[in-house]
Amino acid sequence: MTATRTPPARALYRRGQYWILLGALALVFGLSRLTTSGSAVNLLDLWLAYSIAALGFYWIFALGGRFAFCQTFMMALGGYTAAWLGRQGVPFGVGVLGATVAAALAAALIGLLLWRAEHLYFALGTLAVTEIGLVVFGRTNAFTGTNGNVTGVDYPEVFGIQLRSDGEVFWLLAAVLAILLLLAVFLDRSPVSRDLAAGRELPMVARGAGVAVGRLRLGMFVLGSAAGGLSGALITHWQGFIGVDSFGLDLGIGLFLMVLLGGVTSHWGVLIGAGFYVAIPELLSGARQYMPILYGAILLVVILAAPGGLAELGRRAAGLVGKEPRS
């Protein structure tokens, strides 16, 4: 008797993504019910906000195949734009949308300027943009405030209701992250994902087959940067403050760690990676000075044990469950 061949784990994973999305949302909701202290709710909000930015970096790095060191610049641009629009009397929702569009336009301009740059040169170019941008933000007082510091930013407001507490902001961040995760599912299940994989792994062959590799990379860079700008705008309104150091180099490295720890093969990994990045310093508060060493050790273990990240381990487990016993 011939057994039916089991689809590969990747196919099973693709088919079950909507269930995974529901499970992830249920997990987030469950954590919100379990957290009662103010500091825990604050960390939960930070996890959601960083997950939004890390998801954007995942689109740029893992899907687009480009290492962009300017995600924190996009977050800062989104934050400063939202704060400036708020001072002009623009409503919260319109201001956040404007901040997201500003980050997308900036990414389009940077992507066109660095159109022919590859690999290390593209990374260095985006790093230069970040360094220049931080200096400009610190000196353009009319736009960013004195020395780049803006205080008294309005609370987030939804349907005329101001979200003043961390618990109220949680629902806004969770809703935004859910929408972006749904977009990530649509993107992963679309033919664009296949073209991106071809352009990332075999760019010359993909170009020969008619795949617009450059345009796809630019599109992922714009989309991921827009997510970064959106995250920065939400964080700024939530915290009511933004400064030049709010989105510095350390966070840029942190976003890279979030994606690698979670796994570059899955957008779900950013949730795991962001959770590690936010939770570990709190769990080991007495060893904060050793955090870089700890992050490096965890990253090394993950690379050796599961090069695809922690999400890859979950997918392997799903593949084992889906296997049929040999007859």
Q: For residue 128, what are its two tokens? A: 């230069």
CA 224 – CA 58 distance, rounded (Å): 7
For the segment 34-49, what is each residue's pLDDT rounded down to a tens digit?
A: 776 778 899 999 999 9
Q: What is the pLDDT of residue 75?
A: 97
CA 257 – CA 244 distance, rounded (Å): 22
CA 164 – CA 41 distance, rounded (Å): 13
Phi, psi of 101 (to 5 degrees): -65, -40
What distance separates the 2 farthest-apart alpha carbons in the chain?
77
H/E run at residue 242: strand 241-242
HSE toward the beta carbon, residue 56, CA cutoff 13 A = 32
Q: What is the pLDDT of residue 321?
A: 56
Task: Read off the amino acid at residue 124.
Answer: L
Q: What is the pLDDT of residue 314?
A: 63
Do the beta carbons of residue 250 and residue 72 sit within 8 Å? no
For the segment 200-217, what is each residue's pLDDT rounded down to a tens digit?
A: 888 888 888 889 999 999
The model's pTM = 0.88
Q: What is the pLDDT of residue 3?
A: 41
Residues of the chain with pLDDT under 50: 1-13, 324-327
Q: What is the pLDDT of residue 118?
A: 84
Q: What is the pLDDT of residue 183?
A: 95
Ramachandran class of 237: left when φ > 0, alpha when ψ lies in -120 to 50, beta otherwise: alpha
What crossing angle do the helices spanning 269-283 and 310-322 adopt, rounded to 10°? 130
Q: For residue 30, what are its two tokens? A: 């469950």
**3-class DSSP state of 150:** strand
Do the beta carbons of residue 107 and residue 114 sit within 8 Å? no
Strands 161-162 and 157-158: antiparallel
Which residues are 268's β-sheet partners? none
Q: What is the pLDDT of residue 5?
A: 41
Q: What is the pLDDT of residue 323?
A: 55
Q: What is the pLDDT of residue 309?
A: 76
Rg (CA), the chain: 20
Q: What is the pLDDT of residue 226?
A: 98
Task: Read off the amino acid at residue 175.
Answer: A
Task: Read off the amino acid at residue 70.
Answer: C
Burial of 179 (0-12, 13-18, 19+ CB in 10 A): exposed
